[in-house]
Chains A and B, each alone.
Chain A
């Protein structure tokens, strides 16, 4: 089943641990499952940057831990290390040199994990759970940006316990993304703010949300010159909006599309609408991947405005996704995302990595 082409055969490799039981949709795509998955839902995934040889995957979970695996070219995943927080981990990110991992947690702190020494120290403090964390590397400064449910965006120099800067948000921060010199933060109550990060972070523009419902995830995309030029915003309503910051023709260039719905484009029958839990852009091709509560992931081409591929349905929602630095590997976490408002009985999660043969 070479859904993506077959250059590396990852998709078809026999590492699927579940054989071919027809009723088991644990891993219908027969992707590689990461060993030693966290015990509770995975909230966030992040691959190491290109500065680090090899591919390392970090996952933060609701079991208060952050785990690191090395993903080898053969598809083998080797658990490497783990750190704990005192609360569920909501976001993780790498520093640009690949030596540190930053983790944001519901315990209102963010920690910096030095992988070489396997030590983690607290670098940030908020009044409410920290929802997003990103590393900013500017020519004249570098810092960690944390967005929290206390409606603030704080920038931290990891050496000091006081933030370098605090920006007020209109509402709780729900998701954010950073590609220097642009940062986008989506908040509750459909707030959307773009920041420019040159010389120092400052608010660039507040944007009227192109979506009608709660914002769930956001990802910045770049143009052909590798400059961030817009972002994709996902909502709980199975819809993603592609928004350019300065398009030549806003009415035509910005658009939204429906995804993660049960009936596809058949709008006559009542659909089940699922939240878009994560969006990630392929670092090389610029195609975007979305993962949703319906347990599927899809790849889209935003320029051609087409859907490239949708996966089979997994038995659990997909909570997070991430491409590695060259786009060869796509990792997604299949775990309960609380979309049904209840504790899911089966709480063991897995992450599956998929190599994209067609890249």
Chain B
């Protein structure tokens, strides 16, 4: 959209309401807007990156008068596209055509709808309810894209299949190579699953445990990042088998989460002020989040059908891009993701190492791994040492 000439001169009289872009502050729209309610802000922080995309529009609508925010919202949606579950946002924007002809009543209805959705997402996350489910804000309407339905039985079956096929080691190596096969993806899952107690699998208790905690906690950017990883790890479990494979994910996702800041700053994403806006999740979402978010659903469903998408999930971010772009039936604007995250793919090439030898960890990192939960601000960027993993 067009750059506001008045803003450039320092005298735009619409300010945040301006329909044109104010370069420099456009990306920070979400962050800068004073949140009308604290709970909303919490809502952003608490929801996993999967949901953050759904919630973001609400913040925009709250912060900017709808009449004047038409154009502003578009770019924000666009910017989210680059990192987040695009289709979800788009779907959201599209479904809310009333934006185009704002009137106060419609605004209020839409606001209520968005508030309701925010609340639903908060509840969803905090309540420990089954995460692999579609969601529709208004019962009559269609599902918000980006969520995928997986039933517990389907997940469990995947787990069983991997138990019986007994080739966990191969999963681990495949994961390391980042090959786009279905197996590694499932491998990831199993690892996590295993974390929760099945015997015989090396379990990444510390990181997975803490990761898991995060996905359901209100948190700042960091926690959000880890929660992203948590969701990834949680999602994978769905897949059953290969233990070590999943450790790769648990360990690598935090790494992803943390590289994110660099990535985001490098790429001109909308998450310019992730911390401020609580977009830590979206930050994540740009990345593993998309893996996790879209993912949860995307890779899984196609997983049952096609291996490419699944693979994408299991692989590192970059791989996931390609995988996603190949996966079918994903409403996610995957192509936009792959297009928009070239940087991330570059940076994430990542982890071929699943574990860090103890001696390579600093004392602080070691302490973090050993503690029950990660402390915000101190989450290690390296994968945990294999010695600390326990079943």
Give A contacts to B, CB under 8 Å: 41, 43, 62, 87-88, 90, 106, 128-129, 131, 149, 171-172, 174, 188-190, 208-214, 216, 235-238, 261, 270-275, 337-345
Contact = CB atoms under 8 A, between A and B. Distances in A.
A210 B136 CA distance: 10
Contacts of B124: 237, 273
Given A342-B198, A342-B237, A270 B134 contact: no
B135 A339 contact: no
B130 A343 contact: no
Nearest to A343: B198
Interface string B131-143: 0111111011001
Interface of A is mostly: loop
A43 B304 contact: no
Given A131-B153, A171-B149, A275 B198 contact: no
Contacts of B234: 341
A43 B160 CA distance: 14
Interface stretch (B189-197, B258-266, B360-368): B189-197
Contact of B157 (A106, A235, A261, A273): A106
B71 interface: no
**Interface size bracket, B side:** 35 or more
Contacts of B140: 208
Contacts of A340: 196
Which of A273, A338, A343 has the most C-beta atoms of chain B within 10 angstroms of its own C-beta? A343
B123 A212 contact: no
A238 B193 contact: no
Given A208-B139, A270-B123, A342-B192, A190 B134 contact: yes
Contacts of B136: 190, 209, 212
B154 interface: yes
A212 B234 CA distance: 22
> What are the 6 tightest A-B residue pairs by CB atom distance, in nearest-first order?
A342-B196, A343-B198, A214-B133, A273-B127, A338-B152, A188-B149
Interface string B151-166: 1111111011000000
6 contacts: A212-B135, A275-B130, A341-B234, A342-B192, A342-B195, A344-B196
Contacts of A88: 156-157, 160
Given A106-B157, A344-B196, 5 more contacts: A106-B160, A212-B136, A213-B134, A274-B129, A342-B193
A347 to B, nearest CB: 9
B298 interface: no
A8 to B, nearest CB: 34
